[in-house]
Amino acid sequence: MEKQKRVVDPKSYMHTFRLNEQQQVQFEKMMLKAGQRSQSKFILSRIFG
């Protein structure tokens, strides 16, 4: 049985940002409410729908 090759976008860009304590608490509450565990997936879903 052959392994399926994983299709990966050859270009990947990383962005970083800082939050203060109040913003971090709000961010965590939003993630919990959305039921998302992955910060990256959560942020991408908020930006791109």
CB 25 within 8 A of CB 17: no
pLDDT of residue 9: 72
pLDDT of residue 21: 98
pLDDT of residue 1: 64
pLDDT of residue 7: 74
pTM of the model: 0.69
pLDDT tens string 2-43: 777 777 778 889 999 999 999 999 999 999 999 999 999 999
CA distance 34 to 28: 10
pLDDT of residue 41: 93
CA distance 39 to 31: 8
CA distance 34 to 42: 8
